[in-house]
A = this chain, B = another copy of it.
């Protein structure tokens, strides 16, 4: 990890982890989605050391997930807002939320996704956009894409359970 390339960097999952692999990064994004934008809002919310917060915030800006925006000039003040790339991260967050609720909340969920109008609790499911089918196995699986290099292609031809899941 860190800068050492990390397995096969062609893998989109590994690439994603390059940007949000640290704990705080994801929690900061969670709070950004919640509407927090200012340094000290994050700090209070997360109870994180200021230097660490600054470091993670900078990393997120460099990765293009957050954008620094000056909201005051007299005393120069910056706020951090989600970019499109950052906003696109929400499904990951909500998938994580759904998984956590299902498996690590014996007392019931403390945070849920709801319909803003009706207030009805939503149950997040991953589906294929065009067909609407739930993305479950064995109906769906991962496969090499058009830009797959040799290394990735091999994984799908030489390994024991190519396409099948471990049972």
Contact = CB atoms under 8 A, between A and B. Distances in A.
Interface of A: 1, 6-7, 10-19, 21, 23-24, 26-27, 30, 32-37, 41, 45-48, 64, 81-82, 85, 87-105, 107-117, 119, 121-133, 135-149, 152, 155, 159-167
A112 B30 contact: no
Given A41-B159, A109-B147, A115-B140, 5 more contacts: A12-B104, A13-B97, A90-B137, A113-B128, A123-B128
CB-CB nearest 5 A-B residue pairs: A35-B161, A12-B100, A109-B145, A108-B147, A16-B100
B166 A110 contact: no
Contacts of A17: 23, 26-27, 96
Contact of A99 (B16, B82, B121): B16
Contacts of A34: 142, 155, 159, 161
Contact of A147 (B21, B81, B105): B105
A97 B117 CA distance: 30
A113 B12 CA distance: 12
Contacts of A94: 126, 135, 142
Contacts of A92: 92, 95-96, 99
